[in-house]
Amino acid sequence: MAESSPGLTYAKLSWLQAWHIRDETYSAALAELVNHQYRHAFAAHWGDGTTSSSDGQRFRAGGRGESTGHVNPK
């Protein structure tokens, strides 16, 4: 993030995170972002906001570890 934002250093972002990002402020900020995106004219191309889509689907891919029976806890 610091490298992609001119004028922001890792130290500044770290300070911001340590002093200003808390559960109550994060939730409020996330709600503001979601509401702003919902009000954007381009959002209407995906519907009226009454349904959602999930990208958290799991597809078996095989490969190393499949035979051991280990499952990602997520």
Give the domain ranges of the chain: 1-41
The token pair at 65 is 């570890």
Tokens 């610091």 belong to which residue? 2
Question: Does residue 43 contact residue 49 with C-beta atoms inside 8 Å?
Answer: yes
CB 37 within 8 A of CB 43: yes
pLDDT value for 53: 73
According to the model, what pLDDT value does residue 64 have? 61
Cβ neighbour number for residue 27 with a 10 Å cutoff: 10
Residue 41 has phi, psi (to 5 degrees) of -60, -35
pTM of the model: 0.45
Percent of the chain exceeding pLDDT 90 equals 9
